[in-house]
Structure 1
């Protein structure tokens, strides 16, 4: 080890020991203070502060920091070493900062600084602070052991520009079955997204492996830190594509010391709000339909029901239908419980139209009916003769029940079902509005609703009706909403979530090149930006891919170029080279033995997670049975699964989106399974970009036109 490197290591070891001593001392003191269980508010607040400190110190106890930045503020004589960690740590006796929280303003320099001798500045609560960076150092600490010290900039030495050595070291690490935080390797373009202002809808177009999901999760942690008086974790929500993906990302926020953020899928959230009144058509059957192969494969275009029901126009259609119900809902006759007593229709209409006009529709109905009931009670109070009063009460109660039935109360589902009746039964639709819905869509929806079944594209409509009928209460409003894999969301879904989100505070992320659910998703980001107020959106594009080797990225880009007329963006790889992409052709009879041999060869190296991707779920199940019968320990991942176990996984390609593996082997990459269509190019691109270090494409029949002409040093056959 060189002397300068050894000196740096020794210096950091001494600093680390001092830091551990202080953290352990503070933890010991806090653990000796028993939890407060009384009712004094001041003591409760103090106990909460102590508990928060305990949790922060526990995070810092094994890995207190990951970076060091020596910064000399303008006007100061000497640079100050700043150690950057996941949580801030102060020295009890002096309040001196031992560790700076990565979310603090000054810590932004650690991520934004890219080298050079010029002054830099950061935005603090007191304004811009300028100064000079003297040292930028990356540190790897694992279980209280200092493993690595890397200087990426040293003003006093030979290293005058930030290098990627540490980033490449971290990217070269193998993955397990969980997504991890990137707090030690956040790049400048990622940091600008994380620290963007809260009250705007941020749309992030990011290529595969650009860190979109981790950036969004780190943004949540930053918002909770920066806007701690305005946002609460329990009022934040993440919408993920499926439950398995939620399991995959479940470790990131706890690693950052953040808890209580809601994490769900749109379908699960919607069904809970609808109180399980409806059931969703089996998603497995849907996916099998949309991702089947051969001539029966459905065409994914704007005629798909999901595209129509996911449109803003369908939302407007519903709004008109609800408006027609609102105009006709109130009774058109007087209420007369007995001869000589009458509550005029005009009076009730005024209650409905004027006094309760700001209430949700069903609450307006309930308020008017409650007032009619109160009027009836007051009229009965005017009757003194006992037997007459008894008769009036009996007759009045009967007529009130009839009156209430005439003003039918709807649930979101019962109203939605009413809309999809035949034309002669459509109560709330004009002929013009009724005829706007394609007849085949009317028939198919009516048939499903009779069985209390709905398609995923019906859920936004049902929740929109719910918002009009019962309103959106405080516990259903969010301080910030994250939508992951947003290219598979519809404009209607996002417009609906905007009703639930304060100040249009969104992080919306995805990749149009991975839009494999085109039967319900979007074609361009403008479909979302049009939903928000002018000046309330920001668009970011992340084109640098950190996941895969440059060989894999070059190959995946070629797939896109062959299948898409105009890709939205091509990935720019980090300079991390590996093995060439391997295209393997074998005879059908030799496929399984060859596949097993290839997996064993991968496992002799550093590969720990392997994915075998198949075009359909049926093919995945067949491969699983064959490999399992041959004694290979494999896991089958299927639609609806909630956990990813790591190891060797058999996965339908469409289920692999969002995951990553050390090695990926894509099966049956032939003309039948992957013809030269835009949709199949996107699906194959998804499969290719799941691989970190090794990618193989296997076929027994003629190779897919999406790969057969790809040439270059990055591919071997």
Structure 2
């Protein structure tokens, strides 16, 4: 052990000792506070008497209860804060810090700074033993090599010289490795982190943050931050650490529930759920765009899942109506369709809005024609949502008058007579609550009882009608959207007026859309446009409490969805992460404007920042060298210098032989200690069949679109559900050019996405007559063909 190593280990020992002392004190404090909380709860109502006749005594009792509640609340806050500190200290005990910088400000002595996942002061509370990685001083570690450097602080820019930049790998309080480094985080540390077998969750490796990632994490200026990054470049990790930084930077101003992450699927939420807790922060809100749509539309329609739509795009090429459906998917994703709907809405403001009758006891009380006449008689300069509110107020006033006149109708007495015991008691309690200031017992008088019960019955009869009116249910929103499709000439006229052509398949698109909506089936491509239209009619339910929105796999969002999200979160800052080379959804095939370009167009250029990440860290160099040859421009991707075995291709004579080869490989990979292994299939149907064929004595888990957790082991998973997730080893189930493989140019990005999920090993399998065209040509030099018992032909053909 050299002198530097010994001195650093001595310091680690000293810090761990102080941490242990702090842990002991906090453990005792939390135990005492917990006991005190239990006592307060147990004795909360002891010795409390309430005399409702004595107002002074009642006031004293209230004050006593309020005081006890405040004491309990204070103890709970203290206990929670101490418990969090205890949790952080236990993490620090194993690995107190990962980096050290020696910085000398101009005209000042050298300041030695150690960086970890949380700050820690010494026992005298006079100096920092560890600085939080999110503190301003830490940017020196991520952004500069030894030499001239400057750091932004709340007090301004400080210039000086970075004398030393040192990295540590500390486990269980012992320094495993120590090295000094330059401009980027040292290869030694990355090798240590990236060389490990993956577990069931993404890790918060704050010690490996690179300069460009640090730029993403610490951006405070941009209203829109666009992160375009190659597969495995650390986009998601940087975004989650950005959340941790923002919560630290704006402590007391920003809370976790004011940040929302839109992730690609529920399983991905499970995969990233541990990152923020590891950094000592609460998890933000996590959802998927599909979950949001389901909440808003799922009660009224059978809503199509985006993965069902993608399955259709991948497998239904020979079905009738396929071209029209695909054309509709692409068109409804565009800003042209946003403009068309906006124009349609302006026309509906003048004429053509459909309304529903207001019925009372199966009789029409106010007809749709009467509502339409009232609505269009209002001043046209008033917005549609405000005119609808005025219409609702008019309807409520009519209902109020009708409710009064209903009291004398014969059915009311009959309904009172037929009240069951439960409903009678409910009515009694309701009437008592409404008349709680009176000491009179109305139920002592028969006639008065009948009168009040009659009022209750009528009120209950009208309650759901009033509720529907307040929700503007008298507007036929489905008809407002379907008006665009029932007569193809309607949209054609609108399109001509704005100079935006419709797809040539428009008539067929109209027929398909009308048929689906008529059966209350909501295709995924219609869900956002429909929701946009009804929100514009009723008034957008904007969310003003969310301050930051993160969109992962943003390349799969449509221009229409971005426009909708902009209206939904009008005051939020947006961080969008994606890779155009991994665009796999149906709408992205023809129009790249549905990607980042459309999102950027929604924000001023001066409020937008774009960061491009070209270095790939997930996969070994041989895997990145292979996958970069699968896509145009892939040579710009820079592999991290981590060695490993070359990807392999195993050819099989038929599907049965293919399954035998895959089973053999799975057993070999398990024996080598790989913890996460994925057999990635093209579609859900192929995944289900492969799972059935492969399982035997292997423990396999089939991943479906509803799967909500990510766990170690062997999984069989459709290509599109593997997005954003990484595995120790990936087996591509069918790399042929057949219908179940990857033969069409439109599947190039999908194939690339599948192959880039592998961290350490990538194995491709194929059965059939032809190999995927993506494996022919330049890519051939970057994988090995495995010999099999089926005497596989050379790589170009099977």
User: Are the aligned partners of 1:330 and 1:349 in contact in 2 as well (CA < 8 Å)?
Assistant: no
1:240-277 CA distances to partner (integer Å, 9 max, x unpaired)? Answer: 11111122222222222332521111111122134622
2:113 alignment partner in structure 1: 82
Q: Deviations over 1:542-577 (max 9, x none)?
A: 11111000000000011214xxxx56x742111001
Matches within 5 A, 1:289-438: 289-292=312-315, 304-328=327-351, 353=380, 357=383, 360=386, 362-370=388-396, 409-410=474-475, 412-413=477-478, 415-422=480-487, 438=506
Structure 1 residue 278, shift from structure 2 partner: 1.9
User: Cα distance 1:486–1:299, how it changes in 2: closer, same or farther (>3 A)?
Assistant: farther
Residue matched to 2:5: 5
1:488 is aligned, of 548, 551, 556, to 556
Alignment of 1:6-155 (within 5 A): 6-33=6-33, 34=36, 48=77, 51-63=80-92, 65-74=96-105, 77-91=108-122, 93-94=124-125, 96-113=127-144, 115-116=145-146, 118-142=147-171, 144-146=172-174, 148-153=176-181
Counterpart selection for 1:246 from 269, 277, 285: 269
Cα distance in structure 1, aligned partners of 2:781 and 2:6: 40
Q: Tell me the residue number matched to 1:384.
A: none
Deviation readout 1:129-152 (Å, 9 max, x if unpaired): 22333433333445x543524223
- 1:465-501: CA deviation from partner (whole Å, max 9, x where unpaired): 3432443456565211111111110011111111122
Root-mean-square deviation (CA, aligned residues, Å) is 4.0
- Tell me, yes or no, if structure 1 residue 553 matches structure 2 residue 624: yes
Match of 2:784 in 1: 716
Which protein has the bigger helix share? 2
CA 1:627–1:302 in 2, change beyond 3 Å: closer, same or farther?
closer
2:58 aligns with: none
Return the alpha-carbon distance in structure 1 between the equivalents of residues 330 and 780 of structure 2: 39
Q: TM-score, normalised by structure 2?
A: 0.75
Higher gyration radius (CA): 2
Tell me, in whole angstroms, the C-alpha distance in 1 between the residues paired with 2:98 and 2:323: 48
State the alpha-carbon separation in 1 of the partners of residues 542 and 306 from structure 2.
31
- Which whole-Å CA distance do the structure 1 matches of 2:351 and 2:255 have between them? 41
**Which piece of structure 1 moves more, 82-91 or 456-465?**
82-91
Q: 1:160 to 1:59 in 2, by over 3 A?
A: closer
Say how many residue pairs are matched: 670
Partners in 2 of 1:54 and 1:361 — Cα distance? 53
Task: Please give the alpha-carbon distance, in whole angstroms, between the structure 1 residues aligned to 2:318 and 2:298.
Answer: 40
- TM-score (ref. length: structure 1): 0.83
Counterpart of 2:209 in structure 1 is: 186
Aligned to 2:225: 202
Distance 1:419 1:449 in 2: 12
SS at match of 2:207: coil
**Deviations 1:507-551 (Å, cap 9, x if unpaired)?**
111111011114257625322211223322211111111100000
Question: Which stretch has the larger CA shift, 539-548 or 460-469?
Answer: 460-469
TM-fit CA distance, 1:181: 1.5
Q: How far does residue 312 in structure 1 lie from its aligned partner after superposition?
A: 1.5
1:143-166 CA deviation, whole Å, 9 max, x = no partner?
A: x5435242234xxxxx89963211
Distance in 1 (alpha carbons) for counterparts of 2:351 and 2:492: 8
In structure 2, do the counterparts of structure 1 residues 235 and 4 end up closer, same or farther at CA, with 3 Å as the change threshold? Answer: closer
Q: What residue is the counterpart of 2:256 in the other structure?
A: 233
C-alpha contact (below 8 Å) 2:228/2:578 kept by paired residues: yes
Task: Write out per-residue CA displacement over residues 274-293 of structure 1, whole angstroms, 9 at most, x where no aligned residue.
Answer: 46222212555433322228
Distance (Å, rounded) in 1 between the aligned partners of 2:162 and 2:314: 53
Aligned residue for 2:57? none
Which of 556, 561, 567 is the matching residue for 1:499? 567
Residues 46/125 of structure 1: CA separation in 2 closer, same or farther (3 Å cut)? farther
Quick check: 31-40 or 502-511, which moved more? Answer: 31-40
Q: Aligned residue for 1:584?
A: 650
Secondary structure of the residue aligned to 1:670 is coil
Contact 1:362 1:409 in 2 (8 A): no
Paired with 2:375 and 2:702, the residues of 1 have a C-alpha distance of 62
Helix, strand or coil: the match of 2:157? strand
Contiguous gaps of at least 5 residues in structure 2 = 42-64, 356-369, 405-461, 786-798
Q: CA deviation at 1:12?
A: 1.9
By how many angstroms is 1:217 displaced?
1.3
The aligned runs of 1:274-293 (5 Å cut-off) are 274=297, 276-281=299-304, 283=306, 285-292=308-315
2:683 is equivalent to residue 616 of structure 1: yes
SS state of the match for residue 692, structure 1?
strand
Deviation at 1:299, TM superposition (A): 8.2
Instruction: Tell whether the 8 Å contact from 2:735 to 2:766 is kept in structure 1 after alignment.
Output: yes
Change (3 A) 1:352 1:552: same
Q: 5+ residue gaps in structure 1?
A: 154-158, 333-342, 379-396
Question: How big is the shift at 1:121?
Answer: 1.4
What's 1:698 paired with?
Answer: 765
After superposition, what is the alpha-carbon deviation per residue over 1:624-643, rounded to whole angstroms, capped at 9, x for unaligned? 112213x1111112233222
Per-residue Cα deviation, 1:176-211 (whole angstroms, up to 9, x for no partner): 121222222111110101111254111111110011
